């Protein structure tokens, strides 16, 4: 049975940051729907062209396009033991489709860390977010600066600010999140998988809470040796 961790939370809550750290600690693959869309835009694929028209408006990319992209990603060999999902599912229809995919992959959702923060913190964090061009590593000019300004610590690539991180767009994305993604909190709460975490704590504290919850989640995989 493979292990899937689904990170839920508004834009700027810290999903990507936690996914990076958790992937390293658990050796599970990091699957970010936003990164996959941005990669397709960079490579000028047809999928990227479709995704861009929605991302530029701060709207969600249609479910059918998103589900197909994620399915193609999850059947790759590095997801054989499971994955940390960052940004998917984001609608009830995506969550239902994910259940079907999980049955095919013989996987299950072990834990859903639901990371929260106030709107002002979300706006401040996304306003200072810098992202690495090559692999999507995440920085913040105030809270988590790179060693050298504008350069990724890990791969030396250029850091850039996302177009959709402008304040008005972030406020709109938060509204979209509240309307379309919040129902998933109830969905996974009913399934007994949610653990709610105050994302305004230091990132190390958030990671520690997730890892602790994972050990107690009844996951079929024993992570104790790896952490
Ligand atoms: P999300 O994937 O949920 O949109 P990110 O992980 O990209 O969020 O984080 C948004 C911004 O906030 C980034 O600039 C990141 O460096 C910063 N950040 C993430 N977690 C914390 C934290 N616990 N404390 C302060 N800043 C954080
Ligand atoms: P954040 O990390 O700030 O939450 P993401 O990188 O996850 O932002 O997403 C950026 C944009 O990519 C979203 O505003 C949306 O347009 C698109 N996107 C990402 N994931 C999904 C998804 N699961 N369903 C539909 N659209 C998505």
pLDDT in tens, 101-135: 999 999 999 999 999 999 999 999 999 999 999 99
**Is position 222 within any domain?**
no
**Is position 27 within any domain?**
yes
Alpha carbon distance 38, 44 (integer Å): 10
- What range defines the domain where residue 186 resides? 2-215
In the set 38, 108, 125, 173, the catalytic residue is: 173
Q: What is the pLDDT of residue 216?
A: 87
Task: Look at residue 94 and tell me whether its pLDDT is greater than 80.
Answer: yes
**Is position 58 within any domain?**
yes
**Is position 104 within any domain?**
yes
The ligand that comes nearest to the alpha carbon of residue 91 is 2
Range 7-16 average pLDDT: 98
CATH number, domain containing residue 150: 3.40.50.300
Task: Say whether 15 is catalytic.
Answer: yes
Alpha carbon distance 41, 63 (integer Å): 18
143 lines ligand 1 (CB under 6 A): yes
- Tens digit of each residue's pLDDT (9 = 90 or more) over 24-55: 999 999 999 999 999 999 999 999 999 999 99
Work out whether the CA dihedral 65, 55, 176, 121 comes out positive or negative: positive
213: number of CA atoms within 13 Å, CB side? 19
**Is position 227 within any domain?**
no
**pLDDT bucket at 225, cuts 50 / 70 / 90:** low
**Is position 162 within any domain?**
yes
Helix (H) or strand (E) holding 195: strand 194-198
**pLDDT bucket at 218, cuts 50 / 70 / 90:** confident
- The total number of structural domains that make up the chain: 1
Range 138-148 average pLDDT: 97
Token pair belonging to 10: 């508004």
Task: Say whether 175 is catalytic.
Answer: no
Which residue carries 């992202």 as its tokens? 131
CA 125 to ligand 1 center in whole angstroms: 6
Q: What is the pLDDT of residue 128?
A: 97
**Is position 225 within any domain?**
no
């Amino acid at each position: 049975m493979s292990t899937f961790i689904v990170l839920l939370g508004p834009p700027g809550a810290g999903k990507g940051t936690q996914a990076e750290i958790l992937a390293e600690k658990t050796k599970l693959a990091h699957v970010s729907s936003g990164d996959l869309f941005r990669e397709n835009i960079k490579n000028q694929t047809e999928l990227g062209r479709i995704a861009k028209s929605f991302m530029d408006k701060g709207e969600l990319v249609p479910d059918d396009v998103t589900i197909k992209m994620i399915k193609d990603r999850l059947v790759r060999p590095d997801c054989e033991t499971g994955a940390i999902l960052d940004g998917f599912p984001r609608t009830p229809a995506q969550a239902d489709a994910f259940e079907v995919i999980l049955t095919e992959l013989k996987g299950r959702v072990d834990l859903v860390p639901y990371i929260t923060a106030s709107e002002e913190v979300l706006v401040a964090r996304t306003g200072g977010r810098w992202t690495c061009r090559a692999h999507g590593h995440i920085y913040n000019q105030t809270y988590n600066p790179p060693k050298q300004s504008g350069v990724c610590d890990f791969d030396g690539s250029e850091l850039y600010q996302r177009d959709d991180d402008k304040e008005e767009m972030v406020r709109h994305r938060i509204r979209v999140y509240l309307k379309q993604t919040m129902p998933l909190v109830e969905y996974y709460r009913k399934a007994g998988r949610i653990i709610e975490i105050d994302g305004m704590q230091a990132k190390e504290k958030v990671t520690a809470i997730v890892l602790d919850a994972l050990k107690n989640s009844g996951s079929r995989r024993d992570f104790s040796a790896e952490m």
